Amino acid sequence: MRDYNTRVVVLGVAMLGGSSGLVGSFTLLRRRALMGDALSHASLPGIALAFMLATTLGYDGKYLPLLLAGATFSGLLGVGCILWIRNKTRLKEDTALGIVLSVFFGAGVALLGMVQQMKTGNAAGLEGFIYGKTASMSAMDVRLIFYASLIAIALSFANFKELKLLCFDEGFAGSRGYPVVLLDVLLMSLVVLVAMVGLQAVGLILMIALLVIPAAAARFWTDTLWKMTAYSVILGTVGCVIGAMVSAVFPNLPSGAMIVLVCSFFFFLSMFFGTARGVVARFLRRRRLNRRIDRQHLMRAMYEQIEHPDRSDTSALKPGSEPVRKTKVSIDELLLVRSWNWKRLMAAIRSAEVDELMQYRHGHAQLTHAGFIEAARLTRQHRLWEMYLITYADVAPALVDRDADNIEHVLEPHVIDRLEDLLEEQELLFPVPTSPHELGDGLTSSEEGILP
């Protein structure tokens, strides 16, 4: 960091990474992530035309504001073509993106070939806009990036609520009187602004990475928009700074490529270890859910075993009754209920023991008082679902058990947690209905009173 050029580069890419992460969050949620890619590729013809026009008129063809103005015009023309193709034809937006991106980029490469043949002006260096030339950024380039980033950040925060509504529910925003078209134009203008100034740093090919990768990585850590934008800004800034510094330490490594690689490393870390949507977090939540499902099945199986007439009488079915609480069920009987293996069954029993719902002694399990109440609640809930499916979905009684299981456990883990918290606040006020398997096909809509 003692080198002046290194400080200039690090400051410039840091501001670019922060603004790209912020704007990229909205485009990702708006499902316009590839629009930045189309913009950057469509800008190449404008760069070549601006150079040719300035050189022909006797001006400096490499004047950066002039080149960026040409890139902006060409990029906006490309976006207009995409929207026209999408609205006037039956083609989807991804098809329009592919067509415009390839055509404009091909035209830009052809124009660069023509530039090389010009006798006036020095065209060397224009190809840097394709791959970027971070290491050669000047103080003027950094000031341009700074002003553009400041404008993008200010407009994003000033219209944060409106852009949030646009990204999540465009129809509702329009019904509430928000100018949806103007907000969409504003968002695309922010993308154009950030993408054009980013051409100098990472090039038109890699610019899409700064608009997509930090926002996509932040999405794994939170479900809240303001947190996502904050994480995206941090990841984009830190990734750009580290990438630029690594390139400064190892001069043979290009800065733009290193920035993208560092951001990609952050993305893979977020994908695996993100607390909201990461692979590990989702795996742990799914495992906890499966264990909770196994325990619920075990509790219900225990209740169904002890309520059988051969095991207890009718008076023993009341919550708190001593004969029921002391009734034991052997492990061999439980293994036959759902074809559990020994390891899985014992894991469910240990889970119930931790919460003092069950006791396991000498190959037999028995419910505690709290365990009996919980088992009765689960059994009642399951049988009400069975009755509903038999009555209203015409499911055969012999097949309804598995269907009811699928309905009970189809919800996401956090929804199940909330519903279970609500159920735990209620007492078991109603008796457990008789198993519908014993009633056969005799259920009709007249029994509507006992359905959930």
CA distance 45 to 418: 55
The residues that bridge with 359 in the sheet, in sequence order, are 366
Same domain, 202 and 332: no
Claim to verify: residue 324 and residue 259 sit in the same structural domain: no
Q: Is 276 left (phi over 0), alpha (psi -120 to 50) or beta?
A: alpha
- Among the candidates 246, 273, 300, a domain finishes at 273
Residue 239 near residue 262, CB atoms below 8 Å: yes
pLDDT tens readout for residues 398-446: 777 777 776 666 555 555 555 555 545 544 444 566 666 655 544 443 3
Assess whether 87 and 10 both reside in one domain: yes
Q: Report the distance separating Cα 388 and Cα 452, nearest Å.
A: 7
Q: Per the structure, how many domains does the chain have?
A: 2
Q: What is the mean pLDDT of residues 270-292?
A: 87
59-111 residue pLDDT tens: 666 677 777 788 888 888 887 888 788 778 878 877 888 888 888 888 888 88
Q: Could you tell me if 40 and 116 lie in one domain?
A: yes
Q: What pLDDT, on a 0 to 100 scale, did the predictor assign at position 217?
A: 92
Q: For the domain that residue 301 is a member of, what is the CATH number?
A: 1.10.10.10
Q: Which of 307 and 354 is assigned the larger pLDDT? A: 354
pLDDT at 310 over 60: no
Lowest-confidence segment of 87-91, 199-203, 253-257 by average pLDDT: 199-203
Q: What is the pTM assigned to this prediction?
A: 0.72
Q: Closest Cα to residue 260, out of 26, 44, 20?
A: 20
Q: In this predicted model, what pLDDT tens digit does every residue of 151-169 receive, in sequence order?
A: 989 998 988 888 888 888 8
**Same-domain status, 204 and 148:** yes
Mean pLDDT taken over the chain: 77
159 plus 102 within the same structural domain: yes
Q: Are residues 421 and 301 in the same domain?
A: yes
| Model confidence pLDDT, tens digit, residues 37-62 | 777 778 888 888 888 887 777 766 66
**Which pLDDT does position 133 carry in this prediction?**
67
pLDDT in tens, 210-231: 888 999 999 999 988 899 999 9
What is residue 348's predicted lDDT score, i.e. its pLDDT? 86
Q: Which residue has the tokens 């670019």?
A: 16
- Record the tokens describing residue 173, joined without a space: 């925003």
Q: Which domain holds residue 344?
A: 281-450
**261 and 296, same domain (yes or no):** no
